[in-house]
Amino acid sequence: MGEDIESKRGVLRRTGSYLRSRPTSQKVGAGAAAALLASAPFGGLSGPAADGPGTIVAGKALMVGPYKVVIDKVVELPDLKPAVSPEPSQRVVVLDSHVTLTGDRPEYAVTLTQNVKIQGGGVKVVDGPRLYFVEDATQMREFNPGLTYRLAITFTTSGPWQGDEVTVKSRLVEFREEDSATLDPNAWVARDEIQAQGELPIVRRS
Amino acid sequence: MRRAVASAAIVIAAMGLGRLITDHLPTTETADKPFFHDGAVGSPVALDYADVTVTGVHVTPTIMGNPASAAGGRWLVVDLELKARHSPTSMAGFFLVDANDRRWIASSRGPECATAANLSTGVRHWASICFDVPKEALADARLMATRGAWDSHEAQFRRDDVARVDLGIAGSEVDALWAQKDAVNVKEAGPVPPEEAQR
């Protein structure tokens, strides 16, 4: 037993003198590696944090909570009758899109409409977005899963859009199995964080 | 000393018993569950607050109107006759449950499609509920009718009466129903019988 302790002490002594004899650069490197290893339980070895919002591109799928949205093009019109009839001074900006509710349960449209917006053009959005099924111009308020609709996502603006591009943004919408804020389990919850944004060209039609 | 130990043991035992009860007895489930009343097409289902009768079931790609309403999948249109039993009642919960226990909600897009009904006591009320659904929703679909609207927590009709009506769609009938092209004429909801109602 006594010999055991003595031999362990010898090993430690030899290790200590070996480390002391190393150059400073190696000591610093070893110290950094040890610190990184020690921080592993707190995320020290995890990958880098996601940097900034994703990019919205025409024709590419974008997830807004449970909704898969593909914006095909952005169009500005004086109106979109019979669905949208704004004042003569106003305009309608339409995200011509295909929208699919993924997952296995229904959702109401607000989960999508509250989390997509447009910016720029030197105008204000005075109404919208609203969702209209292109095939019959009826407003979509409810979605069942597994069906894809070509939708006009409409924004009524205070006047004509200035410039050739529209900034489209979507907020991060997360599924929470438990939400301490609302006590509602299994809910889609919007975060105050931009998940994706992009500059899309605007097409003007009269 | 002995008394203190006994008290501590009783407290610990009580906590353990509480944990056992909350872990193993479905208290939340039983407290939240609605009361289902089963029925079939053509037979009234008596709920505590209303009688619910499914009088017709249609599958179509188009609901007549100006403009006509197109389905993303197919419209499953359920014709209903409702009657409040004891007091004026609002019913806002109409949804489908399919063979795999998935939910499908009613659409407000069809021109005369109802998503809710305000019932006067003892007065018959007719309404058609329209569901835009994919093919897999049709087989063994059951209509659920209750007072609270459907939400993802199904919290609006906890411990309430729910009519669960088998719409009589067998799996073998789905292909033929899906292939139907005839448009359906949905009548205005209200106390006027469908044969006299507008549209």
- Mean of the per-residue pLDDT values for chain A? 87
List the single range of A12-26, A101-115, B4-18 with lowest mean pLDDT. Answer: A12-26
Round the CA-based radius of gyration of chain A to a whole number and report it.
28
- Beta carbons of A138 and B109 less than 8 Å apart: yes
Query: Using beta carbons and an 8 Å cutoff, which residues of A are at the interface with B?
Result: 82, 104-107, 133, 135-142, 144-149, 184-188
Identity of the residue numbered B66: N
* pLDDT at residue A200 tops 70: yes
pLDDT (0 to 100) of residue A24: 72
Size of interface A-B (CB pairs under 8 A): 64
Average pLDDT of the residues in A98-120:
97
**A86 and A24, same structural domain?**
no
The position carrying tokens 């004042």 is A87
Q: Do B70 and A149 touch (CB under 8 A)?
A: no
pLDDT > 70 fraction of chain A, expressed in percent and rounded: 78
Q: Is the pLDDT of residue A12 over 70?
A: no
Higher pLDDT, B100 or A4: B100
User: pLDDT band at residue A141, thresholds of 50, 70 and 90?
Assistant: very high
Indicate whether A155 and A192 sit together in one domain: yes
| CATH T-level assignment (fold) for domain B35-179 | Immunoglobulin-like (2.60.40)
Q: Are B131 and B106 spatial neighbours (Cβ–Cβ below 8 Å)?
A: yes
| Residue of A137, A139, A185 with shortest CB distance to B67 | A137
CB contact under 8 A, B153 and A187: yes
Q: CB–CB of B104 and A144 under 8 A?
A: yes
**Domain boundaries, position A6:** 2-42
Mean pLDDT value across chain B = 92
Nearest Cα neighbor of A101 from A139, A142, A155 is A142
Contacts of B137 in chain A (CB under 8 A): 144
State whether A38 and A77 are in the same domain.
no
Indicate whether A37 and A59 sit together in one domain.
no
Distance from the Cα of A6 to chain B's closest Cα (Å) equals 48
Question: Does any domain span residue A49?
Answer: no
CA angle B141, B59, A133 (to 5 degrees): 105
Q: Flag if B72 and A149 touch (Cβ within 8 Å).
A: yes
C-beta atoms of A144 and B132 within 8 A: yes
Instruction: Provide the residue type at B104 as one letter.
Output: W
Model pLDDT for residues B144-188, shown as the tens digit of each residue: 999 999 988 888 898 999 999 999 999 999 999 999 999 999 999
Domain extents in chain B? 1-32, 35-179
Residues constituting chain A? 206
Looking at the fold, whether A36 and A62 belong to one and the same domain comes out as no
Q: What does A118-161 look like in DSSP terms, one character per residue?
A: EE-TT--EEEEEEEEETTT-PBP-EE-TT-EEEEEEEEEESSPP
In this structure, the answer to whether residues A76 and A32 fall within a common structural domain is no
What was the pLDDT predicted at A125? 97
Whether B83 shows a pLDDT value over 70: the answer reads: yes
Look at A44 and B176; give whichever has higher pLDDT.
Answer: B176
Chain A residues with CB under 8 Å of B72 CB are 133, 147-149
Q: Residues of A with CB below 8 A from B155's CB?
A: 184
Residue A185: list chain B partners with CB under 8 A: 153
Closest CA to B166 of B141, B183, B134: B141
How many angstroms separate the most distant Cα atoms in chain B? 86
pLDDT at A45: 56
Identify the pLDDT of residue B149: 94
- Determine the distance in angstroms separating the CA of A93 from the nearest CA of chain B, rounded to an integer: 22
At residue A164, φ and ψ (nearest 5 deg) are -110, 0
Same structural domain, A109 and A152: yes
Chain A contact set for B70 (CB, 8 A): 133, 135-136
Confidence of residue A40 (pLDDT cuts 50, 70, 90): low
Lowest mean pLDDT across A46-50, A142-146, B38-42, B113-117: A46-50
Considering the domain architecture, whether residues A24 and A97 belong to the same structural domain is answered as no
pLDDT at B90 over 80: yes
Looking at residues B84-101, what average pLDDT do you find? 97
Paired strand residues for A100: A68, A148
Grade residue B199 by pLDDT with cuts at 50, 70 and 90: low
Other beta carbons within 10 Å of B53? 20
Q: Is A72 helix (H, G, I), strand (E, B) or coil?
A: strand
> Which candidate in B101, B153, B154, B156 is best for mutational testing of the A interface (most A CBs within 10 A)?
B153
Contacts B135 to A, Cβ<8 Å: none
Q: Compute and round to an integer the Cα radius of gyration of chain B.
A: 22
Please tell me the distance from the alpha carbon of residue B116 to that of residue B166, in angstroms, as a whole number.
Answer: 20
- Does residue A142 sit in the same domain as residue A198? yes
Instruction: Decide if pLDDT at B116 tops 60.
Output: yes
- Residue B26 pLDDT > 90: no
Indicate whether A48 belongs to any domain.
no
Q: Is A88 a residue whose pLDDT tops 60?
A: yes
Number of domains in chain A: 2
pLDDT of residue B19: 81
- Of the two residues B115 and A35, the one the predictor is more confident about is B115
pLDDT band with cut points at 50, 70 and 90 for residue A93: very high
- Per-residue pLDDT, A44: 56
* Local structure of residue B121 (DSSP, 8 states): B
